[in-house]
Chain A
Amino acid sequence: MPAAVERPQAIARQRLHPLSPVLKSVRTLFLVVAAVSWRGLQNLGPDLYALVLLGLLVLVLLYSAVAWRFTGYEVVGRELRIHEGVLFRRTRAVPLERLQAIEVVQPVLARLAGLAELKLDVAGSGKAEAPLAFLPLAEADVLRTRLLALASRTSAATAETAPAATEPDAAQPEQADLYRVDNNEVMVSQFLTPPVMFTPLAILYIIGQLAFNSDFGVFAVASMVTAVAGTIGAPVMRILNFWNFRIGRAADERLRIRHGLLETRSQVVAPQRIQSLTVTWPLLWRGKGWLRVTLAVAGQSSVNADGRQSRAETDRLLPVATVDTARALVPLALPGLDINALPLSPVPHRARWLAPLRRRVLAAGLTEHAFATVDGLTTRQLTVVPYARIQSVRVTEGPWQRRLGLATVYVDVAGATPAAAVHRPLAEAFAWADDLTTRARAARAEV
C-alpha cells in the first residue's frame, strides 16, 4: 500500500464560508418561524413575539458560529477530508483517485449570497455524495480545478508532489463557450412532451366539469388542479434547469457544462470519465428534428441500479439540439464518434416474430472505439459505450430466441443501464462478445 504517510498536505485545512451553517439551516428556520407565528402573534403580542424571534435569530447565529468552527476541508495525501457537524462530528474522506467529476452548484439562496457548493461525484457510490457547502463562488471554482488536477495526478499513480501553489489551471483564464443552447428551443422542446401536450385537455375537462356538472366537488377540482400542476411541474423544472445551457472546454480536454436559471450548475467532466453516451429522439421532437444527448458519468448516475430515474437531471450534454449540432459536439465527449456514420447492422428478418415493429429500428455495431446500439420504436435511443469503459459482457438467449437462433448481447457499464444489442444472430452474438472483451482489454491497456 502506498500509504499517504509521507505525503504532505496538498491543501491545508480551511474553513467553509461562515454563512454555510445558516444557509443549511435556513429551511428549518423558516419552519420554526412559521410554527411560532401561527398562534404566537396572537398569544404573545407583538413585543414579546419580536423578542422570541430575536431570541431564535441569536440562537441560530450562535449555533452557526459554533458549527462554523468545526466545518472545514483539507487534502491529505490522496484524500479530501470534509469535516462537519457539531454534536455528531463527521469527517468524510473522499479518495481523490475515485473522483469522477465535480459540479459547482449554486442554489438560489446561496447564489444571492454569492456562495456555491461543490458536489463531488465519486465512483462506486450510487449518488453524488459529499457536498462541500458553502464556499465563495470564485474559491469553489479554484478548488474544483485544483482537486481535479490532484485527482488526475493521483490516478496517474506517480509520486510526484508538485507544490500546490503553482497550479497552472487555477490561474488560467476561462475559455469561451463552444456552444450555447437556444433558450427558446429549450422551452419549446419541454412543451413538446406528453404531459404538457395533454395538459390543455385536462384543463378543458376541469372547466367543463365545473360548468356542467354541479356534483363536481371542490375537492375533486383541487385534486385535479394539483395533478395538472404536478405534470406541468417537471417540464417547468427542466426549463429552469436547462436555461442558459453552455458547453465549453476546461483544462486538460475536460468538458465544462453550465446551466440553470435559478439554481446554477457548473460541471467539469473529463472525457475518460464518461461511461456511456445516449442520444434520444423523442417522438414529439421528430417534427423539429431534435434530439437530446445524455452522458453517464460514474458516480453521478441519473439512473438507479433498478433502472428508475432519480435526482435532478444533471447528465445532459445537450438538452435539445439538431443532428448537425450533436454531430459537432458529441466528439468533445467521445472523440472520433460521428453519430450519423456508425457502422450499425440491422437484425435479421426472422426477428420479426419477436419484435414485429421494433425490428426495423433495432441495430447495433462495433465502431472503432465504441459499441453502439439503437432501440426504441417511439422514443428512439442510441447508446454508445466506449470499449475502454466496458465492465462486463453478457449474452442471453431466451426460449423463443433460441428457436430462431437469436441472442441478446449486453454490455454493462458503471452507473448506467447496460447497452443491449437485441436479437442478434447467435453466431454473431458470440463473435461480438469475444470481440468486445478483446477490444475492451486492448482499450484498457492503451489508457
Chain B
Amino acid sequence: MTEPRLEAPRHTAARSALDPWPGEVTWRPVSPRLVALELTRVSISTAIMLAVCGVIWAFTGSSWALVAAVAVLVLTVVRGVVAVRAARSYGYAERERDLLVRHGRMVRHLSIVPYARMQYVDVVAGPLERSFGLATVQLHTAAAASDATIPGLEPAEAARLRDRLAALGEDAGEGL
C-alpha cells in the first residue's frame, strides 16, 4: 500500500507549507479572477464603511468622521494586499489517494484529505461569486476540523472536481 512517489522526499528538507514536496506534487492554481473577486469584496465593505463615515460627517460635521474615512482607506489598502496575496496562494493537487489544499501567506495552511474519508462534497456559489463566474468546492469529512475549501474555481472545473471526488470517495469510502 505504499505510493512510490511518497517515499522519496520524506527526509529532504521541505521549504514551506505552500510547497512541502518540491517537484513531487503538481499544484493547480485557482482562477486568477479570484483576485478580482476578493478585491471587489474588499471594496464593497470599504464603500459601506465610507458611506457610514459620510453620513456621520453630513449630520454632525465632526472632523473625526474624516479621520475615520482616512483610516478606512488605509485599512482597505492593507486588506487589499492581504486579500490578493491570500487569493493567489490557493492551490490544490489531486494525488492518487488524497487531495492536497494549500492556502495562506501569513499563516500557511496545508490540508491532506484522503478520498476515503470524504463524506460529501459541496459546490457553493454566492451571488458575487456567480457574477465572477466562480464557485467554491468544500470537502467534508466526519471531523469538523477538516478544512478543505477551494474557492475561485471555474464552474466547469468545480463540477469536474466534485464528480471526480465523489467517484473517488465512493471507491475508497468506508466512512469511519
Residues on A lying within 8 angstroms of B by beta carbon are 97-98, 100, 123-124, 273, 275, 298, 305, 389-399, 402, 407, 410, 412-415, 417-418, 426-427, 429-431, 433-435, 437-438, 440-442, 444-445, 447
Q: Which of A100, A391, A442 contacts B143 (CB 8 A)?
A: A391
Are B174 and A392 closer than 8 Å at their CB atoms?
A: no
Q: Which of B17, B98, B175 contacts A407 (CB 8 A)?
A: B17
Please, how many angstroms separate the alpha-carbon atoms of A447 and B20 in the complex? 30
**Chain A: which residue is nearest B141 at the CB level?**
A391
Please, how many angstroms separate the alpha-carbon atoms of A426 and B14 in the complex? 7
Are A396 and B114 closer than 8 Å at their CB atoms?
A: no
Are B110 and A392 closer than 8 Å at their CB atoms?
A: no
Q: B69 at interface (Cβ–Cβ under 8 A)?
A: no
Please, how many angstroms separate the alpha-carbon atoms of A264 and B142 in the complex? 30
Please, how many angstroms separate the alpha-carbon atoms of A427 and B20 in the complex? 8
Are A430 and B175 closer than 8 Å at their CB atoms?
A: no
Chain B 41-80, CB-CB to A under 8 Å as 1, else 0, gives 0000000000000000000000000000000000000000
Please, how many angstroms separate the alpha-carbon atoms of A391 and B117 in the complex? 6
Are A442 and B20 closer than 8 Å at their CB atoms?
A: no
User: Which B residues are CB-close (under 8 A) to A427?
Assistant: 11-14
User: Which A residues are CB-close (under 8 A) to B97?
Assistant: 437, 441
What 8 A-B pairs are tightest by C-beta distance, nearest first?
A414-B142, A305-B144, A412-B143, A391-B143, A430-B14, A392-B146, A397-B108, A430-B20
**Chain B: which residue is nearest A398 at the CB level?**
B107
**Further 11 A-B residue pairs, CB within 8 A, beyond A392-B146, A397-B108, A402-B108:** A391-B146, A392-B113, A392-B141, A412-B141, A412-B143, A417-B145, A427-B14, A437-B112, A437-B114, A440-B114, A441-B1
Please, how many angstroms separate the alpha-carbon atoms of A390 and B119 in the complex? 14
User: Which B residues are CB-close (under 8 A) to A402?
Assistant: 16, 108
User: Which B residues are CB-close (under 8 A) to A418?
Assistant: 143, 145
Are B112 and A414 closer than 8 Å at their CB atoms?
A: no
**Would you give 13 A-B contacts (Cβ < 8 Å), ordered by A?**
A123-B176, A124-B119, A392-B111, A394-B109, A395-B20, A395-B110, A402-B108, A410-B145, A412-B141, A413-B143, A430-B21, A434-B9, A435-B10
User: Which B residues are CB-close (under 8 A) to A395?
Assistant: 17, 20, 109-110
**Smallest Cβ distance from A137 to chain B, in angstroms?**
29
Are A396 and B116 closer than 8 Å at their CB atoms?
A: no
User: Which B residues are CB-close (under 8 A) to A393?
Assistant: 111-112
**Chain B: which residue is nearest A426 at the CB level?**
B14
Are A392 and B108 closer than 8 Å at their CB atoms?
A: no
User: Which A residues are CB-close (under 8 A) to B148?
Assistant: 392
User: Which B residues are CB-close (under 8 A) to A97?
Assistant: 175
**Chain B: which residue is nearest A393 at the CB level?**
B112
**Chain B: which residue is nearest A391 at the CB level?**
B143
Please, how many angstroms separate the alpha-carbon atoms of A441 and B16 in the complex? 24
Please, how many angstroms separate the alpha-carbon atoms of A298 and B33 in the complex? 40
With A123-B142, A392-B143, A392-B148 as known contacts, state yes or no: A414 contacts B14, CB within 8 Å: no
Please, how many angstroms separate the alpha-carbon atoms of A430 and B1 in the complex? 20
User: Which B residues are CB-close (under 8 A) to A410?
Assistant: 145
